[in-house]
Amino acid sequence: MVKLRYIFVLLSILFLFQAHYNDIQITYPAYFPEPVYSFENNKLDTSVISLGRSLFYDPVFSSDSSISCANCHSPFSAFAHTDHALSHGINDSIGHRNAPGLFNLAWQKNFMWDGAVHHLDMQPLSPIHNSIEMNETLAHVIEKLGKNEKYTTLFTNYFHDSIIKSEYVLKSLAQFQLTLISCNAKYDLVKQNKTDFNEKEKRGYKIFQQNCNHCHQEPLFTNYKFANNGIGIDPDLKDIGRQKITKHKEDSLLFKIPSLRNIGFTYPYMHDGRFQSLKEVIDHYCDHIEISATTDVFLHKKINLSKNERVELVSFLHTLNDTSFIFNKKHHYPN
């Protein structure tokens, strides 16, 4: 009998320990669709999120400990690589694509410009193993983390395991990135009836709905599909986009339709960073669409916008900039 009580007490203590798991949920506006990330396999936990945040800013992921994820994904440019057409990696070598901004990733099914990655957890395998990005192996990263007392304690505490497994590292990084939710731009405040567009933005919004929303669909400003928006192939990079992954001719020159949220912070634009400004982008859509076998039919019809209308469209696009996201300290370098 005494023994039984002893076991009971022990069990209760155990449950108390287990209860430290504080499942939290991401919050987003009612007009957002349901996220697609498989949260059931990676339940959000504040401690794991903060662990993921430490990892995101830690150069341990590169072979010479010089480059962290944040080197190419800076919080101040909505986690894109501003000013660099093609992202710079280890030894200042130049990659072959522009680093996209990172936000609202819980809604995204395909990652990378060609959709090479289909799950956020698995994405870090790509830059870590890329010889011009971080030139490292995850196995070695884990070995390095295992020698770092700060990390071994954190991992043991959260995952109740004496060794660090790749699953824990990948899930932690994913958790931090899943919390990068951008939904406080002026556009959102208007949606929530907290403010109004000015006249210029209003007219720009109309133009947007007529010409751009087909692909950059509200409220996330992408329909998460792939398309050829007629920018033509760069003769040096010869990047065929989605076709590399699917091996279908019909997918030649198709790229992920990027969200236009935070677009003011993520220049230069397109997968190879070829356009410096939104004006150049809009001039492209109006005047320079290259029609090839796979150019989206929606763009076959010429978009005719006057100089004024182009300026109005740019004004609207700037209402998608979310400064509260950029300045959210919870996303910054952990101290």
With CB under 5 to 8 Å by kind, the binding choice for 145 among ligand HEC, other proteins, none is none
Q: Which is nearer to ligand HEC, 171 or 216 (CB)?
A: 216
With CB under 5 to 8 Å by kind, the binding choice for 134 among other proteins, ligand HEC, none is ligand HEC
**For residues 51 and 145, what is the distance between their CA atoms, to the nearest angstrom?**
12
> For the chain, what is the HEC assignment?
CHHHHHHHHHHHHHHHHHCCCCECCCCCCCCCCCCCCCHHHCCCEHHHHHHHHHHHCCHHHCCCCCCCHHHHCEHHHCCECCCCCCCECHHHCECCCCCCCCCCHHHCCCECCCCCECCHHHCCHHHHHCCCCCCCCHHHHHHHHHCCHHHHHHHHHHHCCCCCCHHHHHHHHHHHHHCCCCCCCHHHHHHCCCCCCCHHHHHHHHHHHHHCCCCCCCCCCCCCCEECCCCCCCCCCCCCECHHHHCCHHHCCEEECCCCCCHHHCCCECCCCCECCHHHHHHHHHHCCCCCCCCCHHHCCCCCCCHHHHHHHHHHHHCCCCHHHHCCHHHCCCC
Residue in 185, 299, 320, 326 binding ligand HEC, rule: CB under 6 A: 299
Q: Which is nearer to ligand HEC, 102 or 220 (CB)?
A: 102
Q: Which is nearer to ligand HEC, 164 or 212 (CB)?
A: 212
Q: Is the separation of the CB atoms in 32 and 219 below 8 Å? A: yes
Q: How many residues bind ligand HEC (CB under 6 A)?
A: 53
Stretch that binds ligand HEC, among 39-47, 64-72, 160-168, 187-195 (CB under 6 A): 64-72
Q: Which is nearer to other proteins, 138 or 240 (CB)?
A: 138
Stretch that binds ligand HEC, among 1-9, 16-24, 34-42, 207-215 (CB under 6 A): 207-215
Task: Of 316, 210, 204, give the one whose Cα is nearest residue 260.
Answer: 316
- x-or-dash pattern for ligand HEC, window 139-178, by CB under 6 A? ----------------------------------x---x-
Q: Which is nearer to ligand HEC, 154 or 215 (CB)?
A: 215
Q: Which residues bind other proteins (CB under 8 A)?
A: 10-11, 14-15, 18, 38, 41-42, 116-123, 125-126, 128-130, 138-139, 142, 160, 165-167, 170-171, 174, 245-247
With CB under 5 to 8 Å by kind, the binding choice for 319 among ligand HEC, other proteins, none is none
- x-or-dash pattern for ligand HEC, window 219-248, by CB under 6 A? --------x-x-x-----------------
Indicate whether 216 belongs to the interface with ligand HEC (CB under 6 A).
Answer: yes
Q: Which is nearer to other proteins, 53 or 203 (CB)?
A: 53
Residue in 44, 99, 145, 220 binding ligand HEC, rule: CB under 6 A: 99
